[in-house]
Structure 1
Amino acid sequence: MAEETRRSSFLLPPPGTSYVAWLDGARMGTEQGLLEETSTRLGLPVYFGWNWDALSDCLRDMAWAPADHYLLVIERSALVLRECTEARQIFLGILDTAGRYWGLGLDHPGKSFNALLL
């Protein structure tokens, strides 16, 4: 029983406030579709610039959605930019950069940013 309890603790969210956004990969087949779905589902601020740099900036400066932990859940992720290999790599790089920024940042200890692609 102790072994089972120990393993299940990994499923519990970390302490603190969490910001979770669910995105639909089927709506993210083009760059424009990805930016629209991301903006709508995350509730990006009105100053969002509708390009890769702006998306990266918003995900690294989450002052518009204060929380301790951020989680993006992308359902049907195989459909995200599936015809646009280069754009898909840019998007995945943005998610990776945001995760590293929040996970390694000394000015915001204990915070996290994760993306779950289903």
Structure 2
Amino acid sequence: MTGSAFWDVTDNHLTVVDEQAKESLLDVFPRSGTIAVARLDGAALPDEDSVFLGFYEAFRFPDYFGWNWDALSDCLRDLGWHTADRYLILIDHAERALGGDRRQRRLLFSTLRRAAAEWANPMLSGRAHPVPFQVVLVCSPEEVDAVRGEIGVIEG
């Protein structure tokens, strides 16, 4: 994956990587601009409440955050309190998020995908131009295919 492909707003917005991958960060990140980064640990997100708290803290959601999936979706699609040129969410140990409950994880992944798709489409977002919003799901090598399969379910 090259830097330009990674930030392409028309491409897949959720990327699954092997935690042992040797991808050069210099090839992925731009030389300039502001990137809002939220890094979460899937192992620390065993249930919905911890997911909501993790995103609330990582992106410093406003106090009116509603602590449910709709509120998470709304805040991720707004982020007006961040002035950034692009957004990046990294979830380490993604296969462990939500206690390994694949149905719940698919809900999380579809929420993230919806947010990314809206940032990428000025017609949906009301923004003047597409804004890169990428999610990187870091997994153990043996879980990469399974998590990619979960993402495939929400794509289809």
Indicate yes or no: 2:130 matched with 1:113: no
Distance (whole Å) between structure 2 residues aligned to residue 71 and residue 12 of structure 1: 10
Q: How does 1:51-90 map to 2 (within 5 A)?
A: 51-90=68-107
Q: CA deviation at 1:78?
A: 1.1
Q: Is the 8 A contact 2:35 2:85 kept in 1?
A: yes
Q: How does 1:1-118 map to 2 (within 5 A)?
A: 10-13=27-30, 15-106=32-123, 107-108=126-127, 109-118=129-138
Percent identical among aligned pairs is 36
Q: Is the 8 A contact 1:81 1:88 kept in 2?
A: yes
Distance (whole Å) between structure 1 residues aligned to residue 78 and residue 32 of structure 2: 21
Q: CA deviation at 1:73?
A: 0.7
Q: Is the 8 A contact 2:48 2:98 kept in 1?
A: yes
Distance 1:66 1:26, change over 3 A: same
Q: TM-score, normalised by structure 1?
A: 0.84
Q: Is the 8 A contact 1:68 1:112 kept in 2?
A: yes
1:19 alignment partner, SS class: strand
Distance (whole Å) between structure 2 residues aligned to residue 27 and residue 49 of structure 1: 20
2:98 alignment partner, SS class: coil
2:91 alignment partner, SS class: strand
Please identify runs of 4+ aligned residues in structure 1 that moved more than 3 A: none
2:52 alignment partner, SS class: helix
Structure 2 unpaired stretches of 5+: 5-23, 139-156
Q: TM-score, normalised by structure 2?
A: 0.65
Q: CA deviation at 1:13?
A: 2.1
1:29 alignment partner, SS class: coil
Q: Is the 8 A contact 1:68 1:110 kept in 2?
A: no
Aligned to 1:3: none
Aligned letter for 1:111? V
Structure 1 unpaired stretches of 5+: 1-5
1:62 alignment partner, SS class: coil
Aligned letter for 1:96? R
Matched residues, number: 113
Q: CA deviation at 1:62?
A: 1.0
